Amino acid sequence: HASLLVAIEYLTALEGDFWVKLRGAGLTYGSSIQNTTESRLLKFGLFKCTDVAGAVAAATQILVDYASGEAKISEVGLENAK
């Protein structure tokens, strides 16, 4: 549970990957990931989204890049997410 919360914070941090690649690209004003422990679900949200399909595709690619090892986790970003 704690590891998941750190991962969520890392991805959604100010100037983090979601901020830069979603908001910075003009796809959405904001995004969020929520861990709902009771229902055992992760929820992904977009706010004031101008391109839903593009934002979902970009968010999916971010996750795929980390899962495949193509994207590297920054030590500084990880420490800040803790």
Q: How far apart are CA 43 and CA 78, in angstroms?
A: 21
Per residue in 30-77, pLDDT tens? 999 999 888 889 999 999 999 999 999 999 999 999 999 998 988 888
What pLDDT does 77 receive?
85
pTM metric for this prediction: 0.84
In angstroms, rounded to a whole number, what is the distance separating the alpha carbons of residues 68 and 38?
A: 29
Instruction: Provide the pLDDT for residue 34.
Output: 92
Looking at residue 69, its pLDDT comes to 93
Partner residues linked to 34 by β-bridges = 43
